[in-house]
Amino acid sequence: MSESLKEAARTLRTNTKKAQLIYAFNGTGKTRLSRAFKELLESEIERDETDEITSELAHKNILYYNAFTEDLFYWDNDLAHDERRILKIHPNAFTDWVFKEQGQDRNVVSHFQRYSNPKLTPLFNDEYTFVNSNNDEVTVPAFSEVQFSFERGNNESEPNIKISKGEESNFIWSVFYSLIEQVIEVLNVTRVEERETQQFNNMKYIYIDDPVSSLDENHLMQLAVDLASLIKRSTSPIKFIISTHDTTFYNFLHNELNSKECFLLEASEDQSVSLVKKNGDSNTSFFYHLDLKRQLEQAIKSGTIERQHFIFIRNLYEKTASFLGYPKWSKLLPGNSDENREAYLNRIIQFSSHDSLANLRPAIIKPEEKQIVNFLLTHLINNYSYWKQEAEHDQ
């Protein structure tokens, strides 16, 4: 049954499990759901004008990581001189607490190097003052800028490195991870008056949306191990919600965490969503390609094939080609030559494009285009041994 993002957020809010795991394909609304949940939690905050605690952090009831978290970090590439490339940190309560209040910069560096490269080193700024082009004196606060260097191990280093987008995401996650480590440690102290800070007394949820998009498999497993261990160490009433598109990450957390609820997030063309509960053994075979196949078969059976199902069929061909060792997924398409396969390839790409015009195209497709989806799925299942084995297993 389809529902709005607000309804899905309320479903998560009323759940009593310590951890909730959400699996979703890219583009189905994971980040939008995290925003809807954040807004729901924030609407429950009661402001007391007589409250002596004036810190912004003390009034937070949710700590969340998603694509918007990364927007707090942005590059100054020194286009004029190409000498000083800096990752800037937009002022906010959480990073101020991590760096200025708790001095967690060394832990952030340690986490970042564990998830990326031990020789790649972040360097945080001290407070400094300079005169700008208007002759105004400007003070730059400490821990508001980060430079990166590559340490070669022979007393030489390569400074002013512009790290990759994936490494940047890893760095931002490392800041967030250091923060949730501290939050859990503080809240694990049962007697409120004995806690080292009262800043997190109102914290109810930690919501993590896809921290794995830029990690290779080895570092992905390291992150999953760290996060599962952290959740299990938490003894306070705080709850965790984790959403991901990565099956390895999902399945590891599913196996490691006991007190949990599992969901599949699905989206329709009208932007509504379905938060489907995954019970018991349905999670043991909860793999990306199997669920793609299920959704395609369901759409074919009900006659509700839409443009998004061309994305599904493309993903299914890509996954199968990767599993079987084909250099290109187009090699699996029907036809005896590359020329014969070209027509199907072009049609799939046309309907599964992620360009800016894709959202302007109508969701409804022609009957002959629906037949192509059915034909391509049947061809894949009937012609490649992996899917034949799956079909025999299902009988």
- DSSP annotation string for 346-384: HHHHHHS--STTGGGS-S---HHHHHHHHHHHHHHHHH-
Backbone angles phi, psi at 147, to 5 degrees: -110, 155
Does residue 271 have a pLDDT over 50? yes
Residue 352 pLDDT grade (very low, low, confident, very high; cuts 50, 70, 90)? low
Q: What is the pLDDT of residues 201-221, one digit of tens each?
A: 999 999 999 886 666 666 777
pLDDT of residue 274: 83
pLDDT of residue 109: 95
Q: State the pairing for strand pair 273-277/73-76.
A: unpaired
Q: In which region does residue 308 sit, left (phi positive, over 0), alpha (psi from -120 to 50) or beta (all else)?
A: alpha
List the Cα angle 298/304/306 in 5-degree steps. Answer: 110
Pick the most confident of 15-24, 128-137, 160-169, 261-270: 15-24
The maximal CA–CA distance of the chain, rounded, in angstroms, is 78
Tokens of 108: 């952030």
* Distance between CA atoms of residues 343 and 226, nearest Å: 47
Does residue 149 have a pLDDT over 70? yes
Among the ranges given (109-118, 231-240, 246-255, 345-354), the one the predictor scored with the smallest mean pLDDT: 345-354
Q: What is the pTM of this model?
A: 0.72
Higher pLDDT, 57 or 92: 92
pLDDT of residue 294: 79
pLDDT of residue 356: 39
Q: What is the pLDDT of residues 216-235, one digit of tens each?
A: 666 777 888 899 999 999 99
pLDDT of residue 380: 86
Pick the most confident of 15-24, 43-52, 293-302, 316-325: 15-24
Does residue 250 have a pLDDT over 50? yes
Residue 334 pLDDT grade (very low, low, confident, very high; cuts 50, 70, 90)? confident
Does residue 358 have a pLDDT over 50? no
pLDDT, average across residues 164-185: 90
Whether 21 and 263 have beta carbons less than 8 Å apart is answered as yes
Q: Which residues contact 276 (CB under 8 A, 6 or more apart)?
A: 263, 264, 265, 266
Residue 36 pLDDT grade (very low, low, confident, very high; cuts 50, 70, 90)? very high
Higher pLDDT, 78 or 243: 243
pLDDT of residue 292: 77
Q: What is the pLDDT of residues 153-163, one digit of tens each?
A: 677 788 888 99
3-state secondary structure of 101: helix
Higher pLDDT, 267 or 127: 127
- Please identify which residue in the block is written with the tokens 């952030």: 108
Does residue 184 have a pLDDT over 90? yes
Does residue 240 have a pLDDT over 80? yes
* Distance between CA atoms of residues 197 and 183, nearest Å: 10
Tokens of 265: 């997030």
Does residue 354 have a pLDDT over 60? no
- Write down the mean pLDDT value for the chain: 82
**Contacts of the segment 81-86: beta carbons below 8 A, 24+ positions apart:** 83/160, 84/147, 84/160, 85/147, 85/148, 85/160, 85/161, 85/162, 86/145, 86/146, 86/147
3-state secondary structure of 22: strand
Does residue 53 have a pLDDT over 70? no
Q: State the pairing for strand pair 205-209/62-65.
A: parallel
Does residue 388 have a pLDDT over 60? no
What domains appear along the chain, each with residue ranges and CATH number? Answer: 5-281 (3.40.50.300), 287-394 (no CATH)
pLDDT, average across residues 270-296: 72
Among 369, 214, 352, residue whose Cα is nearest residue 292 = 352
Higher pLDDT, 306 or 182: 182
* Distance between CA atoms of residues 145 and 363, nearest Å: 45
